A = this chain, B = another copy of it.
Amino acid sequence: MNIGFIGLGRMGSAIASRIVNGGHDVVVYNRTPGRAGDLLELGATEASNVAELCENRELVITMLADDAALRAVTFEAGGLLGSLGKGAIHMAMGTHGVETVVALDSAHREVGQTLVGAPVLGRPKAANEGTLGIITGGPLDAVTKCEPLFPLIGRRVFDAGVKPEGASAVKLANGLLLGCAIEVMGEAFSLVRKYGVDPETFHDVLTGGLFSAPAYKTYARIIVDEAYDDPGFTTELGLKDANLILAAASAANLPLPSANVWRDRLLGSIAHGGAQQDWAVVAREQARAGGLEP
């Protein structure tokens, strides 16, 4: 396929590389220049702006950090909306809010283009190895056209139905599970600490039993060690996700009380200086609320 790829951060570069290596004709673009080097060596070409990238592309993939970037790339003068041809597909692989996705979907549709939502599960390492999970949402024929790319990128595809915002919802719901699991671990660890129990003991209980899953093993370790200063994912980014989750729920008239609890702890963590710490620092904030000061 002839593909355009916008957004060459760690995730984007890794995914684009695998697509180029898969034999596709790929033009890349990144707002901040100088990121395309490795991809050009692999055989990609570089466009100097979005409009140029769109020329003769049947599919443009975006992998952008937030909704503002996605809206800019799409709606601004010289953006995807005005530059892509009729019948072209925009596959958005970032984690985006449902309102943004709905707005893009509607705008693309009006000009005869199609939006596919395809957020991914996994960190850059999985992207490099092509073992991401891919959540797809969009019209069946458009998703089908993108299918040849999926084996290059991921280990598994999850079908979120015919609306691109469905894929966002699944990605956000997965983030909700993780964020709240960390918050609840924080509550549980503070409870055992109050009764004089070595946190290491509770770590063993949970990781050796019902909760022997990556989410719990990773974060129970960080909480026991209070290893918040070398973040895998920051509190600030966690708050961004929490806000997207609650906005999606609000737009659908859905109360999410556990999500509120979690967000409040994220806010408290940031208020106490933890914006750039690992988002598991909510466990420290929870302890603080009970007088177990750091």
A contacts, CB < 8 Å to B: 98, 121, 133, 135, 137, 156, 158-163, 165-166, 168-170, 172-174, 176-178, 180-181, 183-185, 187-192, 194-198, 201-202, 204-206, 208-216, 239, 243, 245, 248-250, 252-265, 267-268, 270-273, 289-291
Contacts and interface: CB of A to CB of B under 8 A. Distances in A.
A196 B133 CA distance: 20
A259 B205 contact: no
16 contacts: A121-B209, A156-B208, A158-B201, A161-B196, A176-B184, A180-B187, A187-B258, A239-B250, A249-B267, A253-B270, A255-B265, A255-B289, A261-B261, A268-B290, A268-B291, A272-B291
A188 B201 contact: no
Contacts of A255: 263-265, 267-268, 289-290
Given A177-B188, A253-B270, A257-B257, 18 more contacts: A158-B204, A159-B201, A168-B195, A169-B192, A170-B192, A174-B188, A174-B209, A181-B184, A183-B258, A191-B254, A194-B249, A209-B214, A212-B213, A254-B271, A255-B265, A257-B264, A258-B261, A271-B291
